[in-house]
Amino acid sequence: MREPAVSDAVFALLIDGTQTEIRETGSADREAVRRLHAGMSPENLYLRFFSLSGDIGGQIADRMCRPPGAGHAAMGAWVAGGLVGVASYEATGEEGVAEVSLAVADWMHARGVGTLLLEHLAALARTRGVRAFSADTLAQNHAVQRLFADAGLSLRRHSEGGVVEFTMPLAPDARYRDAVAERERSADVRSLEHLLRPASLAVIGAGRRVTSIGALILRNVLASGYRGPVYAVNPRAGAELGGVPCFRSAADLPEPVDLAVVTVPAEAVGQVAEECGRRGVRSLVVITSGVDGRELTAICHRYGMRLVGPNCLGIANTAAGFDATFAASRPIAGEAGVVVQSGGVGIALRDHLSRLGIGVSTFASVGDKYDVSSNDMLEWWESDPGTRLGLIHVESFGNPRKFARTARRVGRRIPLLTVVSGRSEAGLRAAASHTAAAATPDVTREALFRQAGIVAVHGLGELLDAAAFLACQPVPAGPRVAIVSNAGGAGVLAADSCADVGLSVAEPSATTREALGRLLPPGAACAGPVDTGAGIAPDRFRRCVELVAADAGVDAVIMIVAPTAASDLVSVVTAGDVSKPLAAVVLGQPESVDVRHGDGRRVPSYAYPENAARALASAWSYGRWRARPYGRLPDLPGTRRADAEEIITAHLSRCPEGGWLSPAESMGLLAAYGLPLAEWRMVGSADDAVQAAAELGEPVVLKAQVPGVVHKSDAGAVVLGLRGEDEVRRAYQAMAERFDGRLDGVLIQRMAPEGVEVLCGITQEPVFGPLVVFGLGGVATDVLGDTGARLTPLTDLDAEELIRSVRSAPLLLGHRGRPAVDIAGLRSALLRLSCLAEEHPDIAELDLNPIIARPDGVVAVDARVRVIPQRHWDPYLRRMR
């Protein structure tokens, strides 16, 4: 068991968005705990302790604030420095079961303090070997019963004599995770209200000089039509500045504003933040760069202020009528949410989205993102009906698991687009940070974004191209694109571009071709890309587009017009009666992307066919993702989570830095999750080996365990196919001699019959968190890199797809008369690995190489697992950065 050391303080949000500090209580907290109980109403005390005896608070405080030990722990929740609730557990007589109790100050009831404390205490208890909480509550204590029921942990209930007994196993399952995630989402959104829909606002550091950043922000706020009270803060400016009341310090503000935008020099930011906190300001946007972000975050936590920046351009919410940035122009109100790290990119995106008429809903430049990150913006957009697509350009996404989970959820509602950075395979390989595992996936970050439902493109131009399409047109239902042009050459270019990006060129049906033939001059091309000829009249051209769009074999249309002296076809772009997704290419158009408005329609219009094709391909890939059934997160009967946790915890208490598990630990971990393993024994002598071989059944395999040897067969540490006492004995002795003095033991295994060797594994990806990896084992992995990977948690469909995604899949699915291997067995192995990765964040990497797959089953014969302690034991725990 890991030494119970007092856990770090973390900050988390209550359901109403209030920031709370959560940490273990210590002797210094005794008085606060006593006062909390002393302040509780008699009813509250009675419900909790079934008694109304004198100094109950003092007794509880003594118990709660004693040093942490094996059998107990206590945590407190503080709001603005005051203790508002405590939770503790005490070991019961029963192994692995502890009795939990909660107390929340009367005035803080119904704000989620108890639930938050329960989540944190459960996570802490799990790391200290507690497997279940029990609790006795009075039958009339509905509040705490509801709290237990709503927490999402599976519950057993037993009532007797007016007392309800609860037992809650602490292993987090999918239902519990969903419940926590939902609480997190709503708390996050509530906490952003003050920031993104402020009722009042101050600009701190607004100068008289019109070019000062503060003055520019003030000007933008006023010019963007903000209706709430606006104040300026400047010690030297007098009573009025830029048309608003001005104060010498944040302390003098006439009201605790929802949002303060801070532009003072770096050395003054700390003090200004303090003053804001003391004045009750609810959130800060810190524009200034060169600020100590950690110190600033600590101040914001202390006063419960959410923080954007430092080192950013500012934020805007057009629906709330404010633009608190120092951009030269203001965005038009519209439907795109934008989050960027770099202010310059942000300005470019705002300007282009405004030019295109798509406009911006909310904008945040998150800068050094000590607190508010793209994850927060995703959650905001999810609950904002005005945001219909989201553009993200950041170098990193914050908490990977939260990002992967949030993006997949938000992507169902609105398309999310990003520019991939670190997309080169080299980047990903470097990120995998190890040499031993073969399970370094041969996947690009682009593919991972695609799995998360995010449209990932290669540059800002492409980002706008795709955004223009997704904002203005429906998502294509398929990849078949009809091309209609009045310039045959451009039609061919478009067809080639479609092929390049994985779209197909639709062949109009015979009926459509006939109808086209009646409209077009003899000799015009009616199949493949339709070429109307240059001189066609606008009306006829429009009819042609309508005809192909109506064809059942067409999913989307690219219409290409080359303006000629003979006819102006540009006016036709928005004129047709086309209900399928439509992109226009207007050759010679000065902007590479534009949006043409007319007849209540908006059609994206590109200067080049390749841009149109790529934008369509992005939209189609999003459409395909959204239409794809999610699949099922399977129940995996017989997994023993607690046993696995114990193995990892035991290893980490011996090796606090982490490292490779021993073969016995690895096998134990995998067995706990029901992964099929070849039967094995560890032996220490030739006699042992002979006896084990007899028990296991021949033939057997011997593997020397030598510290530092990673690839055993390369080092001559694997001997296969041993039969008979003599062979086993000789092989053992040969190993003992060869690795003289270095041998940690010898693993003996039943030899699996021949089959296809595959590898399955887990690896960690910096943006997305854990991945499950699959590929063909042996040479195929090392030389061909034929592997694929999926984000966790895998559904049954993900597992099936992953198996089929590798190029050598035909070897598994039945090939040249060879029967298919046990695909269901492989799928189950992948799902079990996904579950293992989800539930044990300490697993840094895991390789099963090979799993031998045969028609009658699959069996792993080699396993390596590396663990690294995670400072925060539960990645799903609600906490701020």
Residues that bind ligand ADP (CB under 6 A): 678, 701, 703, 711-713, 718, 720, 749, 751-752, 757, 778, 849-850, 852, 861-862
β partners of residue 246 = 232
Which of ligand ADP, Mg ion, none has residue 288 at its interface (CB below 5 to 8 Å by kind)? none
Main-chain dihedrals φ then ψ at residue 844, nearest 5 degrees: -85, -40
Task: Select from ligand ADP, Mg ion, none the partner in contact with residue 746, using the beta carbon and a kind-dependent cut-off of 5 to 8 Å.
Answer: none
Q: Looking at residue 29, what DSSP letter applies?
A: G
**Which DSSP letter does residue 333 get?**
E
Residue nearer to Mg ion on the CB measure, 758 or 794 = 758
Least distance CB 862 / Mg ion (angstroms): 3
Q: Which one, of 462, 464, 441, 255, lies nearest residue 348 by Cα? A: 464
Q: Binds 220, which of ligand ADP, Mg ion, none (CB < 5 to 8 A, cut-off by type)?
A: none
Applying CB under 5 A, the site for Mg ion has a residue count of 2
From the list Mg ion, ligand ADP, none, which binds 628 (C-beta under 5 to 8 Å, kind-based)?
none
User: Hey, what are 90's tokens?
Assistant: 């005490």
CB nearer to ligand ADP: pick between 333 and 664? 664
757 sits near Mg ion (criterion: CB under 5 A) = no
Q: How far apart are CA 408 and CA 425, in angstroms?
A: 23
Per-residue string for binding with Mg ion, 313-352, x by CB under 5 A?
Answer: ----------------------------------------
Nearer to ligand ADP, 712 or 881 (CB): 712
Question: d(Cα 654, Cα 869) in Å, to the nearest integer?
Answer: 12
Angle at 368 between CA 190 and CA 300, to 5 degrees: 50
CB of 718 to ligand ADP, least distance (A): 4
Residue 751 touches which member of ligand ADP, Mg ion, none, C-beta under 5-8 Å by kind: ligand ADP
Rounded to a whole number, what is the distance in angstroms from the first to the last CA of the chain? 27
Residue 713 interacts with, from ligand ADP, Mg ion, none (CB under 5-8 Å by kind): ligand ADP
Q: Residue 104 is inside which H or E element, if any? A: strand 97-104
- The candidate with the shortest Cα–Cα distance to 101, out of 72, 61, 135, 63, is 135
Instruction: CB nearer to Mg ion: give 221 or 829.
Output: 829
State phi, psi for 437 to the nearest 5 degrees.
-75, 135
Q: Which is nearer to Mg ion, 115 or 849 (CB)?
A: 849
| Whole-number Cα distances in Å, 614 to 574, 617, 835, 854 | 21, 5, 36, 42
> Which residue, 511 or 713, has its beta carbon nearer to ligand ADP?
713
Pick one of Mg ion, ligand ADP, none as the site partner of residue 379 (Cβ within 5 to 8 A by kind): none
Q: Which H or E run contains 308?
A: strand 306-308
Q: Which does 21 bind (CB under 5 to 8 A by kind): Mg ion, ligand ADP, none?
A: none
307 φ, ψ (degrees, to nearest 5):
-130, 130
Closest distance of CB 709 from ligand ADP, Å? 8
Question: Which ranges of 10-84 would DSSP assign to H, the alpha helix?
Answer: 30-38, 42-49, 56-64
- Nearest to Mg ion by Cβ — which residue? 862
Which one of ligand ADP, Mg ion, none is in contact with 115 (Cβ closer than 5 to 8 A by kind)?
none
Q: Apex CA 205: angle with CA 202 and CA 208, to 5°?
A: 105
SS3 content of the chain, % helix, strand, coil (to 5): 40, 25, 40
Q: Which residues contact 740 (CB under 8 A, 6 or more apart)?
A: none
- How far is it, in rounded angstroms, from Cα 847 to Cα 258? 51
We find the least distance from the C-beta atom of residue 777 to ligand ADP, in angstroms, to be: 6
For ligand ADP, which is the closer residue by CB, 331 or 775? 775
- Report, in Å, the least distance between residue 728 CB and ligand ADP: 14
Choose between 711 and 723: whose C-beta lies nearer to ligand ADP. 711
User: In this complex, which beta carbon is closest to ligand ADP, that of residue 111 or of residue 703?
Assistant: 703
Helix, strand, or coil (residue 659): strand
Phi-psi label, residue 273: left if phi above 0, alpha if psi -120 to 50, beta otherwise: alpha
Residues 6+ apart with CB under 8 A from 324: 201, 203, 217, 220, 221, 259, 261, 285, 314, 315, 316
Map residue 191 onto helix, strand or coil. Answer: helix
CA–CA dist 560, 486 (Å, integer): 7
Rounded to whole angstroms, how far apart are CA atoms 421 and 429?
A: 14
Cβ distance to ligand ADP smaller for residue 311 or 749: 749
Select the binding partner of residue 678 from Mg ion, ligand ADP, none (C-beta < 5 to 8 A, by kind). Answer: ligand ADP
Comparing CB distances to ligand ADP, the nearer of 145 and 749 is: 749
Query: Do 586 and 490 form a contact (C-beta atoms < 8 A)?
Result: no
Q: Are the CB atoms for 757 and 782 separated by under 8 Å?
A: no
Nearest approach, Cβ of residue 759 and Mg ion (Å): 8
Measured from the CB atom, is 593 or 756 closer to ligand ADP?
756
Minimum Å gap between C-beta 863 and Mg ion is 9
CB 700 to ligand ADP: min, Å:
8
For β-strands 156-160 and 163-169, DSSP reports them as antiparallel
Residue 757: name its binding partner from ligand ADP, Mg ion, none (Cβ under 5 to 8 Å by kind). Answer: ligand ADP
The number of angstroms, rounded, from the C-alpha of 130 to the middle of its chain's C-alpha atoms is 28
Taking the complex as a whole, how short is the minimal distance between the CB of residue 849 and Mg ion, in angstroms? 4
Cβ-based nearer residue to ligand ADP, 457 or 759 = 759
Q: How far is the CB of 174 from ligand ADP (least distance, A)?
A: 33
- The minimum distance between CB 705 and ligand ADP, in angstroms, equals 10
CB 14 within 8 A of CB 20: yes
- Taking residues 840 to 879 in sequence order and writing x for each that binds Mg ion by CB under 5 A, - otherwise, the string is ---------x------------x-----------------
* Segment 667-670 long-range contacts (CB within 8 Å, at least 24 positions apart): 667/863, 668/643, 669/644, 669/836, 669/865, 670/836, 670/848, 670/860, 670/863, 670/865
Q: Which of residues 248-267 bind Mg ion (CB under 5 A)?
A: none
Q: Which is nearer to Mg ion, 104 or 758 (CB)?
A: 758
- Minimal distance, residue 818 CB to Mg ion, in Å: 23
Write down the least CB distance from residue 720 to ligand ADP, Å.
Answer: 6
Nearest distance from C-beta of residue 861 to ligand ADP, angstroms:
4
The one-letter code for the residue type at 679 is: E
Shortest distance, position 749 Cβ to ligand ADP, whole Å: 4
Task: Compute the least distance from the CB of residue 809 to ligand ADP, in Å.
Answer: 19
Nearer to ligand ADP, 720 or 813 (CB): 720
Q: Cα dist. 670→194, 727, 796 in Å?
A: 47, 30, 19
Residue 208 binds which of Mg ion, ligand ADP, none (CB < 5-8 A, kind-dependent): none
CA distances from 296 to 267, 268, 277 (A): 11, 11, 11
How far apart CA 387 and CA 470 sit, in angstroms, is 13
**Can you tell me the distance from the alpha carbon of 382 to that of 391, in angstroms, rounded to the nearest whole number?**
13
711 binds, among ligand ADP, Mg ion, none (CB under 5 to 8 A by kind): ligand ADP
User: Which residue's CB is nearer to Mg ion, number 475 or number 747?
Assistant: 747
Which entry of Mg ion, ligand ADP, none binds 140, CB below 5 to 8 A by partner kind? Answer: none
Binding site residues, Mg ion, CB under 5 A: 849, 862
